[in-house]
Structure 1
Amino acid sequence: MLSKNFLCTCVLALLCFGTLSAQQFKALLVVQTAGWQHESTFSALPAMEKMAARHDFKLDLKQRAMPVNDKMLANYDVVIFINTTGDIFNDAEQMAMEKFIQSGKGWVGVHAASDTEYDWKWYTDMVGHMFKIHPVVQTAMVDVHDSSFPGLEGWPKRKMWTDEFYEYKDGTKKEGFNYLVTVDESTYDWQAQWGPDNKAKGHGDFHPMSWNHEYDGGRAFYTNFGHVPAVFEDPDFLQHLYGGIWWAAKGKR
């Protein structure tokens, strides 16, 4: 017959195991598009799975047929948009997403997340700067403005980077935004023109690449990096991205 003390020890061990094995937060990954499909998305998926395993958080992939609603989103702490494009949510899904953020949760956007849902003002206000045009992929120098932000502690103040640098419809500084990384326009050819009405103008001395801010009760983080598939194998980028995810999910820095 098992002793009372032995049973108590087993129960305590199981409780401790359950506490220790609990993942630190839950994330929903959205890669749905209604337009351009980025090649780097196919590199992002395994990279995100490895990141979740490395940092012990739960990661679920939203399937296209899976509707977003209050009940579903209640399971998550952060929603991550990687290379989403166009109108991906209907009105009911948009309302559920707004409630999610208003409840104190987080959003993370990567690259083409700023080329998504232009007609949803709440979303465009959350993103902050929406995509307008980009030049060809090339190398430039980027500057870190907040080395204390999670994931940027190991970055130098100035760093060489190869990617697709977006120009935004409005690149001016916005009140309440914390700008993390900018790109130096003097170090690359930012010129581009798509048809007669869409021509790059440049953002001048301040060209944002990554930022975060508190928004409508929750948190939002965005990084422009992530067009080149190999970026999702770059330890510096992955640390930068995880820092944004951790901040958006936990509100810690």
Structure 2
Amino acid sequence: MKRGLMLVVMLFVVNNALAKMVNALPKDKPSVLVFSLTKGFHHSSIADGIVALFKLGQENNFKVDTTTNVLSFNTQNLKQYKVIIFLNPTGTSVFNDDQKAAFKFFINEGGGFVGIHAATDFSYEWDWYGKLIGGYFESHPKIQEAKLNIVMPKHTLVKGLPSPWLHNDEWYNFKNLNTDVKVLIQADETSYKGGKMKNNHPVSWYHIYDGGKVFYTALGHTNECYSDPVFLKHLLAGIKWAIK
């Protein structure tokens, strides 16, 4: 009996030690999919953006996959990702109905979405996507510096950003804005030339849409953006928020 009891105790100790070892192992990294197909204007900064996103992933414990292939948008493939990132894709009627359904299912199941700059110059024909991304590109003036004002300074997505924030970029004017989005940052149209939104000019926002977490920033046109620590801080905050 004593021998049997000792064996039980030993097995308990070993199993407990094994459980602690398993719990101490690094957890699987969340994965994000970066999509950057261009059927319209091609941003030369996409290459720098991909490099920056890989670096952010390595430094912040998430895995980055990239694609320009619409066939990646199927339910089986997308289920391995926590977040889809649209890095300056362009074009209309890019996805077929099955691919749209897979993307929508991903969002409905709680997937995260991050849109960068030209993600609003994409899928104009798809009303669901227009509401997801929060609006569509209409026009832009020349690249120039503008003053940005942080609208929600206490929010984690903009925490630690300067306000005002002086930034050089291509400033999109928008149409068909989804009024349900929560605006994080606005451009001061008096600080640059070419703003057409009556100085009510959002450039970064977030919302919960159809089951998923959505973050968009209109910044990210230039190559220099992807080595700008302030912009990358803001972008990383959006990715982390969408992953969680």
Q: How high is the TM-score relative to the length of structure 1? A: 0.86
Which residue number corresponds to residue 189 of structure 2? 185
AA of the residue aligned to 2:102: A
* 1:212-237: CA deviation from partner (whole Å, max 9, x where unpaired): 01101111110000001011111111
Do the aligned partners of residues 10 and 63 (structure 1) sit closer, same or farther apart at CA in structure 2, a change above 3 Å counting?
A: farther
Aligned partner of 2:80 among 70, 75, 84:
75
> Does residue 44 of structure 2 align to residue 50 of structure 1?
no
Task: Report the Cα distance in structure 1 between the residues aligned to 2:12 and 2:212, rounded to whole angstroms.
Answer: 46
Structure 1: 4+ residue segments shifted above 6 A: 3-7
Task: Report the Cα distance in structure 2 between the residues aligned to 1:42 and 1:86, rounded to whole angstroms.
Answer: 18
Q: Structure 1: where are the runs of 5+ without partners? A: 192-201
1:16, distance to aligned residue in structure 2 (A): 2.8
Task: Report the Cα distance in structure 2 between the residues aligned to 1:10 and 1:58, rounded to whole angstroms.
Answer: 30
Report if aligned partners of 2:70, 2:95 keep a CA contact under 8 Å in 1.
no
1:60, distance to aligned residue in structure 2 (A): 1.1
Task: Report the Cα distance in structure 2 between the residues aligned to 1:156 and 1:207, rounded to whole angstroms.
Answer: 18
1:7, distance to aligned residue in structure 2 (A): 6.2
* 1:82-112: CA deviation from partner (whole Å, max 9, x where unpaired): 1000033221111101111011111110000
Which residue number corresponds to residue 126 of structure 1? 132
AA of the residue aligned to 2:183: Y
Report if aligned partners of 2:72, 2:78 keep a CA contact under 8 Å in 1.
no
1:239, distance to aligned residue in structure 2 (A): 1.0
Task: Report the Cα distance in structure 2 between the residues aligned to 1:7 and 1:215, rounded to whole angstroms.
Answer: 47
Which residue number corresponds to residue 156 of structure 1? 162
1:163, distance to aligned residue in structure 2 (A): 0.2
- After TM superposition, the structure 1 = structure 2 runs for residues 138-177 of structure 1, keeping only pairs within 5 Å, are 138-170=144-176, 174=179, 176-177=180-181
- Partner of 2:114, secondary structure, is strand
Which residue number corresponds to residue 109 of structure 1? 115
1:58, distance to aligned residue in structure 2 (A): 1.5
Larger radius of gyration: 2
Instruction: Tell me how large the CA RMSD over aligned residues is.
Output: 2.0
Percent identity over paired residues = 33
> Does residue 226 of structure 2 align to residue 219 of structure 1?
no
Q: How many residues align?
A: 234
Do the aligned partners of residues 63 and 9 (structure 1) sit closer, same or farther apart at CA in structure 2, a change above 3 Å counting?
A: farther
Q: Structure 2: where are the runs of 5+ without partners? A: 1-9
1:22, distance to aligned residue in structure 2 (A): 2.5
Report if aligned partners of 2:157, 2:241 keep a CA contact under 8 Å in 1.
no
Which residue number corresponds to residue 92 of structure 1? 98
Report if aligned partners of 2:71, 2:99 keep a CA contact under 8 Å in 1.
no
1:63, distance to aligned residue in structure 2 (A): 4.3
1:151, distance to aligned residue in structure 2 (A): 4.0
> Does residue 15 of structure 2 align to residue 11 of structure 1?
no
1:78, distance to aligned residue in structure 2 (A): 0.9
Task: Report the Cα distance in structure 2 between the residues aligned to 1:76 and 1:22, rounded to whole angstroms.
Answer: 12
AA of the residue aligned to 1:45: I
1:9, distance to aligned residue in structure 2 (A): 7.5
